[in-house]
A and B are shown apart, each in its own frame.
Chain A
Amino acid sequence: MEQKKLIDEVEALRESFDSTTSQIIKDLRRQEKIMVRSDQRQQREYDELQLQLDEIKRLNKEIEDTQREVLLTVGGIGETRSKETFNHVRRVAEYSKLLALKMGMGIEEANLLKDASPMHDIGKVGIPDSILNKPGKLTEAEFEVMKHHALLGYEMFNKSERPLLKAAAIIAYEHHEKYDGSGYPRGLVGEEIHIYGRITSIADVFDALGSKRCYKEAWSDPEVFSLLREQSGSHFDPKLVDIFFDCNAEFLAIREAYKDE
């Protein structure tokens, strides 16, 4: 009798053990299935994300390239109005970036300056041809009109919220200011002149002097260099003139890479 009871108990134990075991097995299989599915899905999602990311990168680059090209073209309009070449704005852009980097600006800001500096003369679109293209020297009254291009350029971009166009506004406004306060339109002195203005000023003048124009021959390098030295502290920020001579080879390499045809 005792024996029978014991057997029943063990039987019951076995049954409960069986059902628990099969429950565990079922759970394990299920876990496994969930994991496999989830891995498959993760992989799919990851692949999809990568594709989308590549596409976003591509679009971003496209936007940036377009923007850069538009700015160069627009900057070029200002320059061609005054018979500058298209490569002039490219070189000014590169010189400006180089100066910015050498004086310790971060790469992003240096690139901003590079993209904005071609706009320095955009205000010339608002100056009459008769003055812009006058072969001889301008009269005082004509020169006053000519000076106006700085303010015109500033007003074009100043209202924009875009950092790039804000920078372009500053550059247009201040690229004819001189370190000793004798520049225009406001006669700012020293570091009152925004660093973007100081940089673009030396980049622009260096390039203009060394280039041949219909009204003048290109200056020789020694002539250009001695003017820059001479004007250190008067026209130009002396720190920038120093950088120019310290890294002279790099400036000349840019000039070579973007030389006029």
Chain B
Amino acid sequence: MLEKLFVAPSKCTPQIDFDPESRILAVEGSSYPENTFVFYAPMMEWVKAYFGQESEQKTIVNLEIIYFNSSSSKLLFDFFDALEEASSSHDIEINWIFDARNEVAMEAGEDFTEDFSHLNINLVEKQ
């Protein structure tokens, strides 16, 4: 069984809380790490391993990213790529959560739904 992945948040990196038991993968916070791809490498690997295991059960992905730089934006696309690939054999539901006043996050959510039309993405507006 894959172990839980938890990364505590910092000023410039989000909290990552991926739990294989509850099947909830959550990223929450700001994202402008010094080296984005190094920071997210463990997460990407974890996701690959996780979807490498077969399962009938639904996986929920909660993304609430308040602020992100351009390389984080690129990484999110890669992450969605991985989800899209996994979606042929897994039931995945994605919640893109954003504050109503956060235009940037809202637009990014719209971009993702546009680009990944096969994925089940909910845009969740927080009040």
Is A133 located at the chain interface by the 8 A CB criterion? no
Stretch at the interface among B19-27, B48-56, B104-112: B104-112
Judge whether B108 and A30 touch: CB under 8 Å.
Answer: no
Query: Which residues of chain B are near A34, meaning CB under 8 Å?
Result: 70, 73-74, 77
Query: Which residues of chain B are near A33, meaning CB under 8 Å?
Result: 111
Judge whether A30 and B77 touch: CB under 8 Å.
Answer: yes
Query: Which residues of chain A are near B104, meaning CB under 8 Å?
Result: 37, 41, 44
Give Cα A38 to B108, complex, Å. Answer: 10
Per the 8 Å Cβ criterion, residues 5-58 of A in contact with B are 30-31, 33-35, 37-38, 41, 44
Judge whether B107 and A37 touch: CB under 8 Å.
Answer: yes
Give Cα A38 to B77, complex, Å. Answer: 14
How distant is A23 from chain B, measured CB to nearest CB, in Å?
10
Chain A interface size range: under 10
Query: Which residues of chain B are near A38, meaning CB under 8 Å?
Result: 69-70, 73
Judge whether A30 and B107 touch: CB under 8 Å.
Answer: no
Give Cα A38 to B67, complex, Å. Answer: 12
Give Cα A37 to B74, complex, Å. Answer: 11
Question: How many residues of B are counted as interface, with CB atoms below 8 angstroms from the partner's CB atoms?
Answer: 11
Give Cα A34 to B78, complex, Å. Answer: 12
Query: Which residues of chain B are near A35, meaning CB under 8 Å?
Result: 70
Measured CB to CB, the residues of B under 8 A from A are 69-70, 73-74, 77, 103-104, 107-108, 111, 115
A-B contact pairs, 21 of them (CB 8 A): A30-B74, A30-B77, A30-B115, A31-B74, A33-B111, A34-B70, A34-B73, A34-B74, A34-B77, A35-B70, A37-B70, A37-B73, A37-B104, A37-B107, A37-B108, A37-B111, A38-B69, A38-B70, A38-B73, A44-B103, A44-B104
Taking A35-B70, A44-B103 as known contacts, 17 extra A-B pairs with beta carbons closer than 8 A to each other, sorted by chain A number, are A30-B74, A30-B77, A30-B115, A31-B74, A33-B111, A34-B70, A34-B74, A34-B77, A37-B70, A37-B73, A37-B108, A37-B111, A38-B69, A38-B70, A38-B73, A41-B104, A44-B104
